[in-house]
Structure 1
């Protein structure tokens, strides 16, 4: 079963750069207009070549989102999972998500460090909606990194304001704690990697890897079409920020996504 789920998730890996969101973002089941709610679209992004890179790349990917009234969801943003709560103010459940690959060939500054493959992460989430405009979110994910034993624990908050029936602004903040296995895979340099890359050997410890601020504008063009544009900036902190191949501690991602709701 895990293999089947993994293949399914990898089939959607092209969405959002082979990485699902830290947090699950669901419409409360009581607000869903249909038993099955589905949208399809595309997203264009400008982002660092890897986390901590001072080089950028442009990318475009298909996007999709499906949410069922019974609590199931399958999304390029949220992953594959189930929300057990029927309460509009509370969401909790299990999901399978993706952690993006880091390919050595993506940048000359990664030469000698090897690849870190896309990882399938089983995990759980808990969200609390204080009202329609403010929510708290958390998640835990396991399975990333070279030996698939990386752990990520994320906490965040999101505020939304309705400018008009068609336009909505959102702002978010989040922090990500990771264990030493995750740190070593994505920010560390082993003795062998040091010889191959020329970077000094580096063994980071567990801790807060980054803090992220985000903002977005959502436009409901009509009853079917919508456009979302936004940006996020992270601050690589602690041992992550001190990695010898982190050249930009404040990476910025800019995106624009169009979707059609069926």
Structure 2
């Protein structure tokens, strides 16, 4: 049986970064499920200097019919060929406020399937501050947070497909294509990666390694890295209209420790460097982004 457990913390890790679970042959009518709680340290938004540590739920479920839920993404394996994996994929990209926060999405892994959404402008977050841009002097805003004065981007339910090809039983080429992100919902991403599925270091310890790059269209980059004329006046950032192309390149590693047949401790680190027009955005404070996560999961 070939399985791939990926620590996916709901509401924080973008779907393009998530590992699509490998095909897991199971008896008809059965399922394999992990539920737990984890913590992640990550930049407030792509390119931010400031980091935050957040506790978030952990979820991965696979059914014998090929359907799976992994964090805030879901899909279905359609291939019966052992070296090919492909099928539809949907994923929820959390909202981004002008503070870079997506804390309103804590504890909502099922929303990826339900397609729930939240208001995208003027929302009061948990700090008691409104997302509506204020009239604070632009120079002061830019010192504190380069997103200050920019318009929030609502949560987006993306749709697309995945296609993976196995070069060997433990090495696969991965492709995730998703559309529907950004302010106008026309943003699209294509993440291509090379992944070593699992390497056993000992009877209870496995390590997965991966390298990937993400290509985006102009609509995606203008939404998440662009600055409109109106936002420039409010924020103090120079107006910027990026095009599409290579957004980032990344390396990642995951370590799983099977504490017992039912309990697993999973940890991961992902280092990404922004590229091209995304890297040159006035919103970017640091091109290198490192995300570290760990979580304890129970297998039902």
- The verdict on a shared fold, with TM-score over 0.5 as the criterion, is yes
Structure 1 residue ranges without an equivalent (≥5) = 1-12
Change (3 A) 1:16 1:55: same
Which of 229, 236, 241 is matched with 1:191 structurally?
229
Q: Over aligned residues, Cα RMSD in angstroms?
A: 1.9
2:256 aligns with: 218
**What secondary structure is seen at the aligned counterpart in 2 of 1:110?**
coil
Report if the CA contact (8 A) 1:16-1:63 is conserved: no
2:90 aligns with: 96
Higher strand share: 1
State yes or no: 1:56 paired with 2:51.
Answer: yes
Distance 1:232 1:165 in 2: 25
Query: 1:95-244 counterparts in 2 under 5 A?
Result: 95-106=89-100, 108-159=145-196, 160-244=198-282
Q: CA deviation at 1:18?
A: 6.5
Q: CA deviation at 1:21?
A: 4.2
Distance 2:169 2:258 in 1: 17
Distance 1:207 1:251 in 2: 19
1:85 aligns with: 79
Change (3 A) 1:34 1:166: farther
Distance 2:27 2:252 in 1: 26
Which of 32, 52, 66 is matched with 1:71 structurally?
66
Report if the CA contact (8 A) 1:23-1:125 is conserved: no
Normalised TM-score (structure 1): 0.89
Distance 1:241 1:83 in 2: 35
Q: CA deviation at 1:60?
A: 0.9
Q: CA deviation at 1:32?
A: 7.3
**What secondary structure is seen at the aligned counterpart in 2 of 1:251?**
strand
Normalised TM-score (structure 2): 0.78
Q: CA deviation at 1:128?
A: 1.4
Distance 1:61 1:71 in 2: 26
Structure 2 residue ranges without an equivalent (≥5) = 1-7, 101-143
Change (3 A) 1:227 1:14: closer
Distance 1:66 1:32 in 2: 15
